[in-house]
């Protein structure tokens, strides 16, 4: 750099100077310090978030396994009593229906026990899993709510039947709540080259726009009852256990709501 000095006799003196290496480094020091602080804050935030998420997962897993254990003990006794009553009164039809409900409770208990561990995936027929779930729920949603399945040709998909059924139940029950006693729910399956897509749709009231980003967060609910775990659990089962994807496709007052589940083909 040049510094120009004018003297009284009209002469001009030019002073050439250059900052030292030390001054150059000192000039960069505040920027480097800010960058280091920023990186430290980012790492601290990520570590805190991971620790918090890990703690939440442990609490969730512990609660699920404890629930399975607590339910399982009296359930075993009930199964014994039903077996005894069927032997004593073989013509009583009601005991058979009671046995079906107890088998259902046993399946639910088994679902809870799988939370927190890597479940076994089998090469199963996906249509059978969907149809079995739909058949069970169709008579339990309400007289004015119809549940329809539109399934393409059967595909074998690596999945855990109990957990996928759990996902479908949660999403179908949410759809039924949105219908408020009357409407239609549809489960539609489409097959791509390497994936299978399931669309769960309803013609209900839709999800408010400002709530759509939060629907997969644990504990978030717009209902007066419930824990707000259904969709977050569905997301965990599909994405963590089955390496798939679950997304909200669309939702609105005139559109109803549509979710899409993507599963890799076997």
Per-residue pLDDT of the chain (266 residues; tens, 9 = 90+): 666 777 777 777 776 666 666 666 667 777 888 888 888 888 887 887 777 766 666 666 677 677 776 777 788 888 888 888 888 888 888 887 788 888 878 888 887 777 767 778 888 899 999 999 999 898 888 889 999 999 988 888 999 998 999 999 999 999 999 898 899 999 999 998 889 999 999 999 999 888 999 999 877 887 767 777 789 889 989 998 899 999 999 998 778 999 999 999 86
Whether the CA torsion 221, 226, 231, 232 is positive or negative: it is positive
Residue 1 pLDDT: 62
Query: Which candidate, 196, 203, 207, 170, places its Cα nearest to that of 260?
Result: 196
Query: In the 8-state DSSP scheme, what is residue 215?
Result: T
Tens of pLDDT along 61-82? Answer: 677 677 776 777 788 888 888 8
Residue 13 has a pLDDT of 77
* DSSP state for residue 11 in the 8-state scheme: -
Give the whole-angstrom CA distance, residue 226 versus residue 255: 25
Between 1.10.10.10, 3.20.20.120, 3.30.40.10, 3.30.565.10, what CATH number should domain 122-264 receive?
Answer: 3.30.565.10
Closest CA to 203 of 150, 146, 247, 243: 146
- Do the Cβ atoms of 186 and 176 come closer than 8 Å? no
Q: What predicted TM-score, i.e. pTM, was given to this entire model? A: 0.68
Residues in the chain: 266
Cα of first residue to Cα of last residue in the chain, in angstroms, is 70
The pLDDT, as a whole number, for residue 18 is 64
pLDDT reported for residue 101: 81
pLDDT of residue 56: 65
Q: Which helix (H) or strand (E) holds 5?
A: strand 2-6
Q: Which residues contact 214 (CB under 8 A, 6 or more apart)?
A: 220
Q: Which residues of the chain form CATH 3.30.565.10?
A: 122-264
């Amino acid at each position: 750099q040049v510094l120009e000095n004018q003297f009284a006799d009209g002469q001009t003196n030019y002073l050439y100077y250059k900052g030292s290496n030390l001054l150059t480094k000192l000039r960069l020091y505040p920027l480097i310090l800010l960058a280091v602080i920023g990186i430290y804050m980012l790492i601290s935030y990520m570590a805190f978030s991971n620790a918090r998420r890990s703690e939440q997962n442990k609490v969730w897993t512990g609660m699920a396994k404890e629930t399975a254990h607590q339910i399982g003990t009296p359930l075993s006794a009930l199964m014994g009593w039903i077996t005894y009553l069927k032997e004593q009164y073989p013509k009583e039809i009601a005991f058979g229906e009671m046995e079906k409900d107890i088998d259902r409770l046993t399946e639910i208990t088994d679902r809870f026990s799988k939370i927190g561990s890597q479940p076994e995936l089998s090469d199963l027929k996906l249509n059978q899993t969907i149809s079995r779930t739909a058949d069970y729920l169709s008579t339990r949603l309400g007289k004015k709510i119809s549940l329809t399945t539109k399934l393409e040709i059967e595909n074998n998909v690596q999945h855990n039947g109990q957990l996928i059924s759990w996902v479908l139940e949660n999403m179908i029950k949410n759809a039924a709540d949105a219908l408020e006693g009357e409407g239609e729910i549809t489960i539609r399956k489409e097959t791509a080259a390497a994936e299978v897509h399931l669309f769960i749709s309803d013609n209900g009231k839709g999800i408010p726009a400002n709530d759509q980003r939060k629907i997969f967060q644990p504990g978030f609910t717009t209902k007066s009852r419930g824990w707000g775990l259904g969709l977050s659990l569905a997301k965990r089962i599909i994405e963590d256990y089955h390496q798939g994807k679950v997304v909200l496709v669309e939702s609105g007052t005139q559109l109803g709501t549509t979710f899409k589940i993507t599963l890799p083909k076997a």
